[in-house]
Each structure stands twice: as structure tokens, then as C-alpha cells.
């Protein structure tokens, strides 16, 4: 089986850091495919339309040949805004994705102040207005990660390199925020995918309530990490891989 990974707000495939390798090591024989959302990474030159449905169709347009094979079976992992796009991909391609793991996502099932917590909104605005790339990434990681400061500094330097190489326009940030704010999850009857939800109890961006509400909406399980931040794939990649492997092996 292939695994398709989709990141979230203004983040690109390189922000997965060590996670794809960790996942590939724990699911031998499986291939990991990374695709950027429009407006980030390889797609940084394009400003997205503020719609999760539009973003999902844009990602699908760039599916590699391996995902287009007849009877292909693809596991799907979406983080934050990527989780919303993942749910929409499951609706668009009901026979392609037999299972999907949705991490720290949100929807209009939950009140707005829980979907983007007020402190997080202020910090994201300040980060967007910070000109120095390293300082900007330090602010972002202080909000999204619970790693020790020394590790956050190292990842901030890497993220600053990504930003200099493929800068994300402020218009992209606004479009992605608006798309997330508008997102309504597809009706359960429209999905044939087996879903699992994951959240971080110390998420300072999106309240864990959002994942719990989505899990209840789809009558699915929700695993909760006790101390990771919003970027769970960065804070504890091994734990997340273990949840994915357990979900993959669980009987339908």
C-alpha cells in the first residue's frame, strides 16, 4: 500500500522532517508519497482559492502515476488543514483511500474559538509580520511544538531555509485560513474510508475538542497524545507511526 501525506497551514513536504522515513521503516514494503498544498513548497508560486474542496481537487490533479493505477489502495495521512483536505479527498475518491488518519484537524462542527484559539491567532499574525525568517519560524514553532527550545531552534533554522527557498505569500496564508474556517466535513454516508482521528492534548493552535467532535461525527476512534503540540509529526513521530501501524492492522 502507498501512504499519501498532506501537511497543513503554509507548511510543505520538507516540514515532515524525519517522519516519512520513520513511517516507511515501520510499514515495510509501503511507499510514502508527499504532496504539497497549493501555495506551499513546490506550489508556492500559486495562491490557492480559499476552499478545501478546491485544494483537494488541486492535490488530486497532481497525483503521481502510482496513485492512478487501477485498483490502487492508498492510505492517507493529513495534518491540520491537510486533514481537512484528506477528508475531502476521501469523498472525491471513495475507492482509492481505504483508510485515512486525520491529525489535529478542525471543522465547523466545533465553535470558532476552539478551531483557532485566540492566542494562536495573535501569534500567527505576529509571525506573518516578522521579516526575519529565523525569528518568524521560532515564533511559529513556539506555538506549534512542545519540543525543548534547543530542538525548536534547530528546526527553525531548517524551516527558515525552506522559507527562503520557497516563500509562502501572505495571501496564501489568508486563503488557507479562510478555507479552514469555511470547512464542513463531508457527510459520513459519502465516505467509504475507514477513519481514525488523532489529536494532541497540548495543542495550542487547535483545541483537541475539534478532533473529538470529528471522531464522534464519523463514529470513529480518536487517539490523544498527552504532551505533543499541534505539529505532532514533529514532536513525536514514533508515537504517531505506532498509531498508524495499529490502525492499519486493525480489522475493518
177: DSSP letter: H
Is the pLDDT confidence value at 28 over 90? no
Tell me the domain boundaries of the chain: 2-249
> What's the pLDDT score for residue 137?
98
Confidence of residue 252 (pLDDT cuts 50, 70, 90): low
Q: Closest Cα to residue 89, out of 43, 44, 118, 58? A: 58
pTM of the model: 0.97
Grid cell in block for residue 122: 495573535
> What's the pLDDT score for residue 147?
98
Q: Does residue 10 or residue 27 have the better pLDDT?
A: 10
Confidence of residue 154 (pLDDT cuts 50, 70, 90): very high
The DSSP-derived string for 203-235 is: -SSS-HHHHHHHHHHTT-EEEEESS--S-HHHH
> What's the pLDDT score for residue 248?
84
Region 88-117: mean pLDDT is: 97
> What's the pLDDT score for residue 26?
87
Q: What class is the 2-249 domain?
A: alpha beta
Distances (CA, A) of 9 to 22, 40, 50, 79, 178: 22, 9, 12, 9, 11
Share of the chain above pLDDT 90, in %: 91
3-state SS assignment for residue 198: strand
Q: What is the pLDDT of residues 169-202, one digit of tens each?
A: 999 999 999 999 999 999 999 999 999 999 999 9
Q: Closest Cα to residue 152, out of 138, 133, 134? A: 138
CA-CA distance, 147 to 106, in Å (whole number)?
Answer: 23
Amino acid at each position: 500500500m502507498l501512504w499519501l501525506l498532506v501537511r497543513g497551514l503554509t507548511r510543505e513536504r520538507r516540514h515532515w522532517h524525519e517522519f516519512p522515513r520513520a513511517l516507511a521503516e515501520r510499514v515495510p514494503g509501503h511507499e510514502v508519497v508527499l504532496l504539497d498544498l497549493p501555495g506551499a513548497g513546490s506550489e508556492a508560486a500559486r495562491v490557492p482559492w480559499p476552499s478545501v474542496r478546491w485544494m483537494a481537487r488541486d492535490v488530486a490533479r497532481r497525483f503521481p502515476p502510482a496513485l492512478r493505477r487501477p485498483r490502487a489502495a492508498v492510505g492517507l495521512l493529513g495534518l491540520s488543514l491537510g486533514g481537512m483536505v484528506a477528508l475531502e479527498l476521501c469523498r472525491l475518491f471513495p475507492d482509492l483511500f481505504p483508510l485515512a488518519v486525520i491529525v489535529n484537524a478542525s471543522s465547523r462542527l466545533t465553535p470558532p474559538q476552539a478551531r483557532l484559539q485566540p492566542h494562536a491567532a495573535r501569534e500567527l499574525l505576529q509571525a506573518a509580520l516578522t521579516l526575519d525568517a529565523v525569528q518568524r519560524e521560532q515564533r511559529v514553532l513556539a506555538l506549534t511544538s512542545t519540543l525543548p527550545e534547543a530542538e525548536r531552534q534547530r528546526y527553525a533554522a531548517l524551516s527558515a531555509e525552506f522559507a527562503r527557498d520557497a516563500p509562502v505569500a501572505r495571501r496564501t496564508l489568508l486563503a488557507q485560513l479562510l478555507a479552514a474556517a469555511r470547512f464542513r466535513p463531508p457527510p459520513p454516508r459519502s465516505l467509504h474510508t475507514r477513519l481514525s482521528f488523532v489529536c494532541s492534548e497540548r495543542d495550542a493552535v487547535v483545541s483537541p475538542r475539534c478532533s473529538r467532535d470529528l471522531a464522534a461525527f464519523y463514529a470513529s476512534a480518536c487517539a490523544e497524545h498527552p504532551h505533543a503540540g499541534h505539529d505532532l509529526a514533529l514532536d513525536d513521530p514514533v508515537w504517531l507511526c505506532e498509531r498508524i501501524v495499529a490502525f492499519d492492522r486493525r480489522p475493518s
